Amino acid sequence: MNITSLLLLIILIFLQYSLWLNKNGIYDYYSIKNSILERKNNNKKIKIRNNNLYREINILKKGEEAIEERARYDLGMIKSNEIFYRLVLEKSRE
């Protein structure tokens, strides 16, 4: 092997190392690409949740029916002129 071939081999090895393992190489590219995909998926979920919350806020701002419904189902409240009946099922006797 002459000196030129040896020098070219060393340069090739150095360039391959830089390409695959060094900072900003292919390994970093794929890890960053995967991280971006994960964050995009997470952002989609958060956008859906935020849209649902905005929708609920708008419903609550529009009228008293939504507030009354929330009070009935979430807090168990009733109006003053209503009668509340609670049905309790007996457990089967064995």
Q: What is the mean pLDDT of residues 3-21?
A: 84
Predicted confidence (pLDDT) per residue in 24-67, tens digit: 778 888 989 999 999 999 999 999 999 999 998 887 788 777 77
pLDDT score of 94 more than 60: no
Residue 30 lies in a domain: yes
Domain range for 16 is 3-75
Residue 55 lies in a domain: yes
Residue 80 lies in a domain: no
- The pair of three-digit structure tokens given for residue 75, joined into one six-digit string: 């807090």
pLDDT value of position 41: 97
Task: Tally the residues of the chain.
Answer: 94
pLDDT score of 22 more than 70: yes
Counting the structural domains of the chain, the total is: 1
The terminus-to-terminus CA distance of the chain in angstroms comes to 94
